[in-house]
Amino acid sequence: MYREVAKLILYRDLGEDSILRKLSGIFRDFDKGGYDSAQLITRIYEQIKALLDLSTLYGFDKNLWHNYLTFILLTNENSFSMTSEKVGANDGTVNHFAKNDFRVFKRLFDFDFRPIEEALGIDCFTTVCHYQAIGKKERMYNKNVSEKVQAVSARIEEAADEEEIFRIVTDFYAAYGVGMFGLNKAFRIRRLEHEVEFLPVNNTDRVMLCDLIGYEIQKKKLIDNTEAFIKGLPANNALLFGDAGTGKSTSIKAILNEYYDQGLRMIEIYKHQFQDLSAVIAQIKNRNYRFIIYMDDLSFEEFEIEYKFLKAVIEGGMETKPDNVLIYATSNRRHIIRETWKDRGDMEVDEGMHRSDTMQEKLSLVARFGVTINFSKPTQKEYYHIVTELAKRYPKITLSEQELCAEANKWELSHGGISGRTAQQFINYIAGKEGV
pTM for the whole structure: 0.79
Give the three-class secondary structure for 425: helix
CA–CA separation, 191 and 196 (whole Å): 5
125 lies in the same domain as 231 = no
99 lies in the same domain as 56 = yes
90 lies in the same domain as 165 = yes
Q: Which of 31, 72, 27, 80 is nearest to 51 (CA)?
A: 72
170 lies in a domain?
yes
249 lies in a domain?
yes
The CATH number that applies at residue 280 is: 3.40.50.300
Query: Which residues are 241's β-sheet partners?
Result: 331, 374
Angle at 107 between CA 104 and CA 112, to 5 degrees: 145
204 lies in the same domain as 339 = yes
Q: How far, in whole angstroms, is CA 41 from its chain's centroid?
A: 38
Residue 395 binned pLDDT confidence (cut-offs 50, 70, 90): confident
Q: Which of 98, 113, 135, 84 is nearest to 23 (CA)?
A: 113
Q: Which of 288, 314, 290 is nearest to 227 (CA)?
A: 290
Core vs surface per residue 156-185: b (16+ CB within 10 A) or e: beebeebeebbebbbebbeebbbbbbbbbb
Is 192 in contact with 128 (CB distance < 8 Å)? no
371 lies in a domain?
yes
Average confidence (pLDDT) over 113-141: 84
165 lies in the same domain as 203 = no
> Which residue, 336, 351, 375, sits at the end of a domain?
375
Q: Which amino acid is at 347?
A: M
189 lies in a domain?
no
Q: Within 13 Å of residue 132, how many CA atoms lie on the same side as its CB?
A: 0
DSSP strand pairing (238-242 vs 371-375): parallel
Given this model, what pLDDT does residue 193 score? 81
192 lies in a domain?
no
162 lies in the same domain as 21 = yes
Q: For the chain, how many structural domains are there in total?
A: 3
138 lies in the same domain as 224 = no
362 lies in the same domain as 392 = no
188 lies in a domain?
no
- Full residue range of the structural domain in which residue 39 is found: 2-176
9 lies in the same domain as 123 = yes
221 lies in the same domain as 277 = yes
Residue 338 binned pLDDT confidence (cut-offs 50, 70, 90): low
Residue 352 binned pLDDT confidence (cut-offs 50, 70, 90): very low
143 lies in a domain?
yes
172 lies in the same domain as 231 = no
321 lies in the same domain as 399 = no
Average confidence (pLDDT) over 131-153: 77
Is 133 in contact with 60 (CB distance < 8 Å)? yes
181 lies in a domain?
no
In the sheet that holds 238-242, the strands lie side by side as 196-200, 186-191, 264-268, 290-295, 325-331, 238-242, 371-375
CA–CA separation, 69 and 107 (whole Å): 11
Longest CA–CA separation in the chain, Å? 90
Given this model, what pLDDT does residue 332 score? 81
Given this model, what pLDDT does residue 277 score? 87
Residue 231 binned pLDDT confidence (cut-offs 50, 70, 90): very high
